[in-house]
Amino acid sequence: MTIAPSDSILIIDFGSQVTQLIARRVREAGVYSEIAPFNSAEDAFKRMQPKGVILSGGPASVCDADSPRAPQIVFDSGLPVLGICYGQQVMMAQLGGKVQPGHEAGGGGEFGRAFLEVQKPCPLYDGIWQPGEKHQVWMSHGDKVTALADGFEVVATSEGAPYAVIADTARHYYATQFHMEVVHTPDGAKLLSNFVHQVCGLAGDWTMAEFRATKIAEIREQVGDGRVICGLSGGVDSSVAAILIHEAIGDQLTCVFVDHGLLRLNEREQVERLFRDHYNIPLIVVDAEARFMAGLAGVSDPEKKRKFIGGEFIDVFEEEAKKLGGADFLAQGTLYPDVIESVSFTGGPSVTIKSHHNVGGLPERMNMKLVEPLRELFKDEVRDLGRELGLNDQFVGRHPFPGPGLAIRIPGEVDKARCDILRKADAIYLEEIRNAGLYDAIWQAFAVLLPVRTVGVMGDARTYDSVCGLRAVTSTDGMTADVYPFDAAFLSRVATRIVNEVEGINRVVYDYTSKPPGTIEWE
């Protein structure tokens, strides 16, 4: 059970792919927030006892009879409530207003950039916007509010949304048709900050130190005198999770690092050095390359690769737990983006993008429970927690590395030879990025070995070798990403080194796709 700080905001998720951005903005304002699916929000409300509630957007139509609703306890509580997009519409539907499909209301929906005109003062944007001003916002809605519930008034309008911002200041209810959580609404973070500070009256003094203390207490409560086995991937997430859990329960934790042959160059040695030498945390290293490569032979579908790797990890952990005399819990470094992208968070409306081996659950035969202390955090928050725990910047600043490892950076079939080729190319790429002083300016950079062979010329000989793709993006949370704009000289230098130094590659390309429409990883 998550123990929430005394000052917190509950975000009720109706299935929007950007709900997690609301949580980010609230936390950036120094206030703890949690997301709860609409169908379990009442339990979360009673547990958290929040000081305010935010209703997210979502893909459903509030006009449908079976569309998601907010628990009535929210409106009976007397707390401030902020509705965003679908959240505005569900407020009106439940409080006595009226919502219609866009084609019935006239004018259709409204998608993308829009400009609203501020009509009246409002506590939601006090000190940010003034009556008569126009401001850019981001719209994404088909349905429209066509009649307000009693007590509400219009305070801002847009061409496609006559109820762009509405307010019931007596009850501290506010709602916007636009999405204030996305960067395309330039003042959105300020608006959310105003809601939590000015409307809800919260001080904004939540820190990562408080999260650390809260999680340690939570882990101790959950684990008791049980034993925990933690799966290390070599990345920042699982390492921070392991160090936090060790601080909470000491030698009740044993870490298992599985060398599945899908790691970056020298990854195994780095992990052993950190955990055994620096933190003195019990560590078991399992050399499982042969069994993973055998299981991946002939498998080219990315989902099947992910699921095999996740299942094989579980098998390894089960074997190691038995050797230890049994374990009660399995710890993982699952993050919020893993959860959001992997499952339908609301139990229905949201869309699964890809599965993630960390969030697939555990086989019943294992008779173990999950410990996931980072499940509510975003990547940059995990880095902050790592620093709070004493990890150095060079380690916590490492680029994200997927649990399935190089298997999803080799589209198509995976084998040891192709992993060895990719390891070398990736190491050269990252070395050049560090040499150029660009590593910390990039969210994630890596090489991909494509299942494509091309003709080349090296010396006087004809070659027919693989293509290496290079990927580098900037991001704050991994949910959206822009391409990093390397100059031509840098890319030329990297390509030359890879082709000259890595046997099996004779062509290098750079991926210019943002997210969306692409994902950061290729599979």
| Spatial distance between the Cα atoms of 278 and 260, rounded to a whole number of angstroms | 24
* pLDDT for 340: 57
| Spatial distance between the Cα atoms of 164 and 88, rounded to a whole number of angstroms | 9
Buried b (16+ CB within 10 A) or exposed e, 125-149: beeebeeeeebebbbbbebbbeebb
Topology (CATH) of 415-510: GMP Synthetase; Chain A, domain 3 (3.30.300)
Residues of the chain with CATH 3.40.50.620: 213-396
Angle, helices 208-223/236-249, rounded to nearest 10 degrees: 60
> How confident is the model over 420-477, as pLDDT tens digits?
999 999 999 999 999 999 999 999 999 999 999 999 888 778 889 999 999 999 997 7
Residue 231, Cβ density class (10 Å: 0-12 exposed, 13-18 middle, ≥19 buried): buried
Give yes or no for a contact between 337 and 402, defined as CB atoms under 8 angstroms apart.
Answer: no
How many residues in total does the chain contain? 523
| Spatial distance between the Cα atoms of 62 and 65, rounded to a whole number of angstroms | 8
Q: Is pLDDT larger for residue 234 or for residue 291?
A: 291
Give yes or no for a contact between 166 and 179, defined as CB atoms under 8 angstroms apart.
Answer: no
> How confident is the model over 125-178, as pLDDT tens digits?
999 999 999 999 988 766 788 899 999 999 999 887 889 999 999 999 999 999
Residues of the chain with CATH 3.40.50.880: 8-199
Residue 349 scores a pLDDT above 70: no
- Comparing CA positions, the residue from 102, 76, 98 lying closest to residue 89 is 98
| Spatial distance between the Cα atoms of 78 and 95, rounded to a whole number of angstroms | 14
Longest dimension (CA), the chain: 82
* pLDDT for 2: 53
Section 346-362 average pLDDT: 44
Catalytic site residues?
Answer: 85, 179, 181
* pLDDT for 113: 86
Residues of the chain with CATH 3.30.300.10: 415-510
| Spatial distance between the Cα atoms of 349 and 59, rounded to a whole number of angstroms | 6
* pLDDT for 63: 86
Domain 213-396 has CATH 3.40.50.620: yes
Which residues sit opposite 517 in a β-bridge? Answer: none
Q: Is pLDDT larger for residue 172 or for residue 318?
A: 172
CA distances (Å), origin 129, targets 135, 150, 186, 190, 191 = 8, 25, 12, 10, 9
Determine which of 3-7, 38-42, 196-200, 240-244 has the lowest per-residue pLDDT on average.
Answer: 3-7
Cβ count near 300 (within 10 Å): 14
| Spatial distance between the Cα atoms of 88 and 466, rounded to a whole number of angstroms | 52
Give yes or no for a contact between 55 and 12, defined as CB atoms under 8 angstroms apart.
Answer: yes
Residue 345 scores a pLDDT above 80: no
CA distance between the termini of the chain: 33
Give yes or no for a contact between 474 and 443, defined as CB atoms under 8 angstroms apart.
Answer: yes
CA distances (Å), origin 369, targets 36, 125, 227, 362 = 21, 45, 11, 8
* pLDDT for 348: 41
Domain 8-199, CATH homologous superfamily name and number = Class I glutamine amidotransferase (GATase) domain (3.40.50.880)
